[in-house]
Structure 1
Amino acid sequence: MLELKLLHNFTTVTAQTLSVNSPVLEKIWRVTVPELAFSSASYLADTLLAVSALHLRSSSPHDRDLIRASHSYMASACSEYGACLSRGVTESNAEALFLTAALIAFQSTASRIFARDDMNDRAAGYSLPLSWFHSFQGVKAVVAATWQWLRISTIVIPIIESQPALNLDLSGHPTFFSDLMVGVEDEIAKFESDASTQLETRIAYQHAIAVLDWAHKIPYTGAPLVFLATVSRRFIELLEARRPRALAILASYFALLKCLDDVWWLKGVARREIMGIVSLFDPDDEEWWPRLQWPLRIALHDNVIIPPQVWGRDWAVQTSAASQSGGFVSHIELLSDMFSSMPQMNSATPDLEPAHQYIMEQGGMMRDILLPEGLEILPVD
């Protein structure tokens, strides 16, 4: 009965929340994905049941059955999913692997709403949501390894092409977030010892800020969500090192999510994460505190609709070029070319191991994020 309840909730409610204003995607998540899961991929079925349980838990946060179900199904999915990755990707499992990776990334993101008590624990301090970035890096690894089959998939291509076209301005001209690059050369000279790392760090910052500027112009399209999937591995390393510039960029990213505050798995995220990031800075820091004022204003704004004078742009006005869909396939083609000389993903491919390891580690991350101490976990039959 629990599984029937979870499946019913996924197909009638949850599926509608996995896309932003896209009836085509809603039908894919509601009908096509469950059909694929029950026909050939038990790990995909377990993943959608885990996501559905998490969705129900958002309205019943103390329901222990839902807590157990959310964790247990995800742990089961990650175990079988990791085993499937180790056996190797093929044409027959490429779609299921991609969809499972996407749902694991969604679960990792959505589960953050249940960590609010921990984040408000002054003794423990604020923890960055690095699992968000790790899980999306895992999705990128799966896409790169299976692109030869995904590129002709009638399920996956509509999901990818539903994202707004990524049109980044890397010209160096002044933009809304240009201030976040001020002083970058001094920082790089201070922390990076070799030329290659200096270049990699500079590009990581430039690219992340360019994505912010692009998403800032078209937030209603769901563009801010693309940030997680497009930043570089180096930028994640800078976050892990808690570089002030990377943290300020992250705060601005969460400010962009304010426009999606009415989505159940993002409700309250902007304010909670921005206040947590700000707590890592000294209020007397004359270099970075002024640059945190914009995300702070957004975080403390009471309405999802933010006036242009606060947002910095009239977000109700979108140019036709900025709001066009599509464009991601060409980016993935480039990514695929980078991996074309590598072997297929399996246990003997060390080049892809770090990225897809992020996904296989999500089972442990889910335990840390979702489960209160001392809760007994029952296995899923």
Structure 2
Amino acid sequence: MPTCEEPGGLNMWKTTIPSLAFECPYIYSAILAIAALHLLTLTPGDIALRAATYQYVGETVSAHRAEMNSNENSNSLNRFTTSVLLTMHAKLRTICERNTGLPYTVPVNHFMLQLGAQHLYETSEWGPEIKAYVKCYEHLAPPLQLPRPPAADHYTYLNREFPYDPLPIFVESDLSITPDRKARYLRPLTYISLIKECILTGENPSWIRHRLAIFPTRCGKEFCVLMQEEDPLSLLILARVFALLKFVDEPWWLQGTAEYEVRGLEALVPEEWKWGLEWPLEILDNSFVAVGE
């Protein structure tokens, strides 16, 4: 979704993808699934729309799976486009589910689909057209540079002094966590700390949104497996990612996301780990969107 905030992304969503849909039936089905889901968020009780959403996404997944299992590489652009659309569908479903009253579920499906789309993007044998197609992603923000954060932009974030977070030190110092498992935790925690630095330096809100949006591709598949198992530490880390959205949740597709996700994760975290939720909950209570200077 952050790609719609700049010209390259707007052209992709308004022209490139609709044009592909006229040539590829399963891209067309994917767009219809998203459209039906959007309407369903407005009328959550519409049974026909709910059935249409499942039908269209089912057709898309079936055709896309068959395409991925073939040895033909000529349709790499269609494959990648469909992966992006399925990822968006999984993300937008969480907006719809907020109004259903159903129990909260960890967004593993969305994370896995985004990892799959990233894999297609990075796999060289799919051809150079994919690189050109998603070039706009690479220019949404300058790359993160270690150890120094990017230079400050002309934005400030109200009440942006972060409270002390004991979780990173706990993970680093806990001898009961195996080195392999500890690496799974520290990788996303390091990325979160970099995003916090970007917020503190006043980086453009659209760049912050982009950095948070690509978190699934930065945390790694092994971390997603921990999420699927509802591992307490992984849930605490995930809560921190969603809490940071509170600083940049001005766009309609993000409003309410931080609260929904963090509160949902709070219900899943065992009582003995509740201390680890104090930081994200405090962020929810004391964060505000960015304002230009």
Equivalent residue, structure 2, for 1:70:
53
- Mapped to 1, the partners of 2:213 and 2:133 lie a distance apart of 20
Instruction: Note the C-alpha offset of 1:85.
Output: 0.5
Residue matched to 1:210? 190
Give structure 1 stretches of 5+ with no counterpart: 1-16, 193-197, 306-314, 319-381
Q: Once the two structures are superposed, what CA deviation does each residue of 1:245-297 show, in whole Å capped at 9, x if it has no partner?
A: 222111111112224544444332211111122223455x4xx5444223113
Q: Distance in 2 between matches of 1:63 and 1:214?
A: 42
Q: Is the 8 A contact 2:30 2:56 kept in 1?
A: yes
**SS, match of residue 276 in structure 1:** helix
- Matched with 2:255 is 267
Q: Which runs of 5+ in 2 are unaligned?
A: 149-161
Aligned-CA RMSD value: 3.0
Deviation at 1:46, TM superposition (A): 1.0
Match of 1:233 in 2: 221
- Work out the CA distance in 1 between the residues paired with 2:292 and 2:165: 22
Change (3 A) 1:36 1:113: same
Change (3 A) 1:259 1:183: closer
Pick closer, same or farther for the CA change 1:242–1:182 going to 2, 3 Å: farther
Residue 287 of structure 2 is aligned to residue 299 of structure 1: no
- Cα pair distance change 1:243/1:64, threshold 3 Å: closer
Structure 1 residues 169 and 289, CA gap change in structure 2 (3 angstroms): farther
Task: Tell me the distance in 2 between the aligned counterparts of 1:150 and 1:58.
Answer: 37
Distance 2:93 2:288 in 1: 22
Paired letter, 2:13: W
The counterpart of 1:184, out of the listed 164, 171, 188, is: 171
Tell me which residue corresponds to 1:131: 109
Shift of 1:147: 5.5
Q: What CA deviation, in whole Å up to 9, does each residue of 1:91-113 have, x standing for no partner? A: x3111111110110111111012
Please name the residue that 1:38 is paired with. Answer: 22
| Shift in Å, 1:83 | 0.5
CA distance in 2, matches of 1:255, 1:205: 17
2:144 corresponds to 1:167: yes
The 8 Å contact of residues 150 and 156 in structure 1, kept in 2 or not, is answered as: no
Higher alpha-carbon Rg: 1
Shift of 1:316: 4.8
SS of aligned partner of 2:213: helix
Letter in 1 for 2:263: M
Identity across matched positions, percent: 25
CA distance in 2, matches of 1:147, 1:201: 32
- Could you tell me which of 98, 119, 134 is aligned with 2:80? 98
* Number of equivalenced pairs: 272
| Mapped partners of 1:279, 1:31: distance in 2 | 42
| 88 and 168 in structure 1: CA distance in 2 versus 1, 3 angstrom threshold | farther
